[in-house]
Each structure stands twice: as structure tokens, then as C-alpha cells.
């Protein structure tokens, strides 16, 4: 775990092919704010491997909207998330697969 991580998580031994692609996309576009393996970064951005982001509260369409339009901060004190340019819907789908597989490994449904 990195010193600036907000949560500690278990990493799955294996990921689906889509989640492997999603991890690469996440590491290129999301890690700066959401941290390695989506554990968040203190004073910068929230962890996505957290009960707040379980699919019954933030379904997949929430992630698409956040990337496409940005989102006002409402669960955390990190401020607003800007829209992320240059990521296709298929790439977002792969990132969601990665996040959901990490969540499942950590008993977040």
C-alpha cells in the first residue's frame, strides 16, 4: 500500500481480459487522482474501491457520466471531478470492469 492511499484492498489473483485492459486505461487516465488500484489518494481523490461506489448506489451509468460530463463532489471533500477527454465509451466500460472486479474481491457489491 502506498503512503497516500485512503483504503487498503486485496488484489484479485486474476482479472478478466476486459478488466486487464481497463486497468491499463485506468493507470493512464485515472491513477493520478484515484490512486493505484483505485485506492484513492489523500488530499487528491476518493477511492473507488469503497462501499459508496458499489453498483447498487453508483451504477455503471454513473461512471460513464462522470467521465463524459464530470461530477460535482458530494460524498467527499476533494472537490469536483472534471470530464476526462479522449476516453471512449468502450474504454470506460473496460475501466468499469476493472473497478467492479476489484470491488468484488473486496466484498463490495
CA distance 96 to 106: 15
> Residue 9 falls within a domain, yes or no?
no
CA distance 109 to 104: 6
> Residue 33 falls within a domain, yes or no?
yes
List the CATH number of the domain containing 92.
Answer: 1.10.760.10
C-alpha distances (whole Å) from 37 to each of 12, 23, 28, 69 are 11, 8, 12, 23
pLDDT of residue 75: 86
CA distance 27 to 46: 15
> Residue 94 falls within a domain, yes or no?
yes
> Residue 29 falls within a domain, yes or no?
yes
C-alpha distances (whole Å) from 58 to each of 46, 51, 65 are 14, 10, 11
pLDDT of residue 2: 54
Show the domain range for 26.
17-105
For residue 95, the tally of other CB atoms under 10 A from its CB is: 28
pLDDT of residue 1: 46
Residues of the chain with pLDDT under 70: 1-2
> Residue 89 falls within a domain, yes or no?
yes
> Residue 1 falls within a domain, yes or no?
no
pLDDT of residue 109: 84
Q: Domain count for the chain, please give it.
A: 1
CA distance 72 to 89: 20
pTM of the entire predicted model: 0.93
> Residue 99 falls within a domain, yes or no?
yes
> Residue 90 falls within a domain, yes or no?
yes
* DSSP code, position 64: H
pLDDT of residue 101: 98
Amino acid at each position: 500500500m502506498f503512503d497516500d492511499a485512503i483504503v487498503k484492498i486485496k488484489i484479485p489473483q486474476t482479472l478478466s481480459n476486459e478488466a486487464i485492459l481497463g486497468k491499463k486505461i485506468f493507470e493512464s487516465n485515472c491513477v493520478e487522482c484515484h490512486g493505484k488500484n483505485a485506492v484513492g489518494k489523500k488530499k487528491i481523490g476518493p477511492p473507488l474501491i469503497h462501499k459508496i461506489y458499489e453498483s447498487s448506489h453508483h451504477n455503471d451509468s454513473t461512471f460513464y457520466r462522470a467521465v463524459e460530463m464530470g461530477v460535482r463532489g458530494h460524498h467527499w471533500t476533494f472537490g469536483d471531478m472534471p470530464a476526462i477527454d479522449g476516453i471512449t465509451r468502450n474504454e470506460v466500460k473496460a475501466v468499469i470492469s476493472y473497478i467492479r472486479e476489484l470491488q468484488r474481491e473486496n466484498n463490495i457489491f
